[in-house]
Amino acid sequence: MRIVYHLLLVLGLTLLWHPCDAQRLSDERVVFQTTKGDIELAFFPDVAPVTVAHIIDLSRRGLYQTNHFFRVDKGFVAQVADVVGGRRIPMDAYQQEVASKKLPGEFSDEVKHRFGTLSMGRYDDPNSATSSFSILLGDAPHLDGQYAIFGRITRGEAALQAMQQVRTKREGIFVMPEERIEIVGTYVKDASRGGGGLRGQAADCTTQLEEARHRADGLVTELEKLRQKRLPGRR
């Protein structure tokens, strides 16, 4: 059993690893302060320039404040609601100006749907994205080329893990949290004023390695639970 355990662990670590993203990150970072912790978003301006500019504009106008994650499908996606219907606070004219703006489908084969990826939600029309987007909670290659990737998280895995512990219910195709996971505050900052530490591609690689370590820890826990269930009292 111990041999199988270590083989599974090695396999899991192999599947978790991806080389660091080669895409340039924008100078701006958007921080979502949620009821489960802070999440920092970084953007790929060379991949989806229109989408990136729109999401930053929405954030500067405060449109994500009091919005929420309406969908949390463990291991798949945590999805932010459209601001038109997801906010608790009504929008003023300045906010309404861009809230329903539809975006062109900026699909690319250069980036993939991996853990931490930011991917726009849309309807059947490829040019119907507005403000709803997903944070990938696992790798989803079947979404590649179908939904516009515009960035990835640089901080906030603990918040995503906390979201996945919330009890959920299924409504149609959606797995939804039973409690409201709210975005209580947002702000936009420059990456160079992020509080010190590594910068540039080195910092990006460090973040991804940290994410992989946390995911590996979760895999170890799950394997240990499985071992105890199958062979209680044995090591």
To the nearest 10 degrees (0 to 180), the angle between helices 2-16 and 200-230 is 150
Query: Candidates 2.40.100.10, 3.40.50.1580, 3.10.690.10, 3.30.465.10; correct CATH number of 22-200?
Result: 2.40.100.10
Tokens, residue 228: 């105890």
Is residue 8 pLDDT above 60, yes or no?
no
Length, in residues, of the chain: 235
Q: Tens of pLDDT along 40-79?
A: 999 999 999 999 999 999 999 999 999 999 999 999 999 9
Is residue 153 pLDDT above 90, yes or no?
yes
**What is the reported pLDDT for 95?**
97
**What is the reported pLDDT for 195?**
46
Is residue 179 pLDDT above 80, yes or no?
yes
Over residues 9-14, mean pLDDT: 43
Over residues 161-167, mean pLDDT: 97
Q: Tens of pLDDT along 181-206?
A: 999 999 999 987 654 333 444 445 54
Radius of gyration of the chain (CA): 19
**What is the reported pLDDT for 19?**
47
Task: Give me the helices (H) in 139-199, please.
Answer: 157-163
Over residues 164-171, mean pLDDT: 96
Buried b / exposed e over 74-109, threshold 16 CB at 10 Å, is: eebbbbbbbbbebbeeebeeebeebbeeebebbbbe
**What is the reported pLDDT for 214?**
54
Q: Tens of pLDDT along 141-151?
A: 999 999 999 99
Nearest residue to 44 (alpha-carbon basis) of 142, 136, 112: 112
DSSP of 8-28 = HHHHHHHHH--PPP-SPPPSE
Q: Tell me the CA distances in angstroms from 177 to 180, 202, 226, one per residue in order.
A: 7, 35, 26
Half-sphere exposure of 227 (CA within 13 A, CB side): 17
Q: Tens of pLDDT along 90-109?
A: 999 999 999 999 999 999 99
- pLDDT tier at 225, thresholds 50, 70, 90: low
**What is the reported pLDDT for 191?**
85
**What is the reported pLDDT for 23?**
86
- pLDDT tier at 9, thresholds 50, 70, 90: very low
Neighbours of 166 (CB within 10 A): 17
What is the residue extent of each domain of the chain? 22-200
CA angle 81, 82, 85 (to 5 degrees): 95
- Give the residue with greater pLDDT, 137 vs 207: 137
**What is the reported pLDDT for 198?**
36
**What is the reported pLDDT for 102?**
97
Nearest residue to 136 (alpha-carbon basis) of 112, 102, 158: 112
The C-alpha atoms of residue 29 and residue 230 are separated, in whole angstroms, by 46
